[in-house]
């Protein structure tokens, strides 16, 4: 087992299964977490492990709640791939906690997520933007997709909306490891994004390396709580 892929929410499950289908990580453990029992039971058929979390409610995520997701990290690989879509309550609340818990366990954390369309409304976009900050401070590396940029990709079918994200990850990992990517600057990472996914009018794909390489556990918790 080289990596553990954790999908958070149904959108995260779609991202994770697209990554798995692409064969990017041939040796992997796949864990599915959700707050929707029926959806979890359906998606669990493709997973090594499934976990039903309680619905989070309106409270903010804080570092002292990281233990809520212990079950998702027990027995996992040293490299964790957290897949989600931001804006919904499951991914927005639980994905940052999983990433925080993992990085506090000294695991290498790669966050893979998409941001909602602007037309989905300010409430969803505000939730996503807040979670974006949390994912940035808990990941050694992030692969991000801004769905508003999808309209500029030619011949992209509805069931292929994760294609730019997955193909960018695949392209970047053909010649670099996750840890190598985490140490690159923004310009180096941008050069690894396929040209067809670099539209002129708006950003579609972004990769960000480790912005908090030297931060201590205590400082990371404080940062997480300040951003929550």
In this prediction, residues 82-108 reach a mean pLDDT of 97
Residue 114: per-residue pLDDT: 97
Report the alpha-carbon distance of residue 1 to residue 153 in Å, rounded: 35
Residue 104: per-residue pLDDT: 97
Closest CA to 192 of 179, 211, 210, 205: 205
Residue 1: per-residue pLDDT: 54
% of the chain beyond a pLDDT of 70: 100
80: part of which helix (H) or strand (E)? strand 79-85
Identify the CATH homologous superfamily for domain 3-227.
Answer: Tubulin/FtsZ, GTPase domain (3.40.50.1440)
Report the alpha-carbon distance of residue 64 to residue 17 in Å, rounded: 30
What are the structural domain ranges in the chain? 3-227
Closest CA to 162 of 204, 207, 125, 130: 204
User: Do residues 222 and 61 touch, judged by C-beta distance below 8 A?
Assistant: no
In this prediction, residues 143-162 reach a mean pLDDT of 91
Residue 186: per-residue pLDDT: 94
Q: Is it the case that residue 115 has pLDDT exceeding 90?
A: yes
């Amino acid at each position: 087992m080289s990596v553990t892929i954790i999908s958070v929410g149904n959108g995260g499950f779609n991202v994770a299964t697209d990554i798995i289908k692409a064969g990017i990580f041939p040796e992997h453990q796949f864990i599915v977490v959700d707050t929707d029992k029926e959806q979890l039971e359906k998606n669990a058929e493709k997973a090594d492990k499934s976990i039903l979390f309680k619905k989070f409610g309106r409270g903010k995520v804080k570092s002292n709640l990281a233990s809520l997701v212990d079950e998702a990290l027990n027995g996992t690989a040293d490299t964790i791939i957290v897949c989600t879509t931001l804006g919904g309550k499951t991914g927005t609340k639980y994905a940052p906690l999983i990433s925080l818990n993992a990085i506090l366990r000294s695991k290498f954390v790669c966050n893979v997520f998409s941001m909602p369309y602007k037309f989905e409304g300010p409430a969803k976009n505000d939730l996503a933007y807040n979670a974006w900050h949390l994912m940035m401070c808990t990941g050694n590396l992030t692969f991000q997709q801004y769905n508003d940029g999808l309209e500029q990709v030619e011949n992209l079918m509805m069931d292929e909306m994760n294609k730019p994200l997955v193909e960018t990850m695949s392209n970047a990992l053909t010649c670099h490891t996750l840890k190598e990517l985490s140490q690159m600057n923004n310009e180096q990472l941008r050069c690894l994004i396929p040209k067809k996914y670099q539209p002129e009018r708006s950003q579609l794909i972004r990769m960000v390396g480790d912005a908090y390489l030297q931060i201590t556990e205590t400082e990371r918790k404080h940062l997480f709580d300040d951003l929550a």
